[in-house]
Structure 1
Amino acid sequence: MVRFKNRYIIARVLFHDKKPTSEHMLSNQLNLEIESAFGVCGAREMCPSVQVKYYEQKYGSNVVVLRCSREDVRKVKLCFENIERVEGRTCTMRAVAVHGKLGSLKENVLEKIGRFAVNGEDGDEEEEKKEEKRRKVRRKVEKAVEAMTS
């Protein structure tokens, strides 16, 4: 029996109107984009392996973790970055990193979320406040990532 070899894509979603959306809507839009790019047969092959595992929007970082098969990483990245609208709202999506193991994924997600949440929102805060905010975000996200990986 051959095991299913996953890859995890860390990506960032930036909505131009700054309103949050749901994990479910991102997943639906990704599946529609896969179907429009690769047709019904391509979507049937790819969509069962593609899953939005985690979407963080509470702290302003808008980091998404996608799971897909090893063979479909490039196709999923292409489709994800081609999404221009979710729920009729314009957005920009960028893949940040790809990982094969949950351990390296976890470290990188925590780093990216902390950096995006602190640096992306408040550029005028003092360094101590930024560091405290980073620690706070890291603790909360560690719990969420633990729940995602278990």
Structure 2
Amino acid sequence: MQVASNFKVLFIAGFGPIVREPSESRELYCEVLGIPFKEESGGYLHTEALQGAKTFALWPLSQAAHSCFDSDSWPEDIPVPQAWLEFDGDSVEKATANLESRGYRILVRNKQEPWGQTVTRFLSPEGILVGVTFTPSMRKEK
């Protein structure tokens, strides 16, 4: 792929949802997923403690639908996500149980993908398709 200008993107400097219901989002990201945030004025939460994105991708909706529902069409009764975000963690099973116990609607539960990733997917309060994953190919050998 050729660069269209003199500007070159070097890395993803940040990503995060625009929240409409701060308390719901705080519960998910702080309490359920355990991300340590610093709080600034106005309820702005941020962290520099997580490592950067391993992948930035333009994921076609038909492929996201196939991943979640084994169909190329997104179901009409579920809001269409505007973005995707994955958190790789130590236990997809524990994360899934925690999410379910807190009432999140799980779209994909502990699914084993052909490339070795295990994933659970759900929609965040902001409408982001969130995955909690275990991705062996992204982990460094020790």
TM over 0.5: no
Task: Indicate the TM-score class for this superposition, using the shorter chain for normalisation.
Answer: under 0.3
Structure having the larger proportion of residues in strand: 1
Q: Where is the helix percentage greater, Structure 1 or Structure 2?
A: 1
TM-score by length of 2: 0.28
- TM-score, length-scaled by structure 1: 0.27
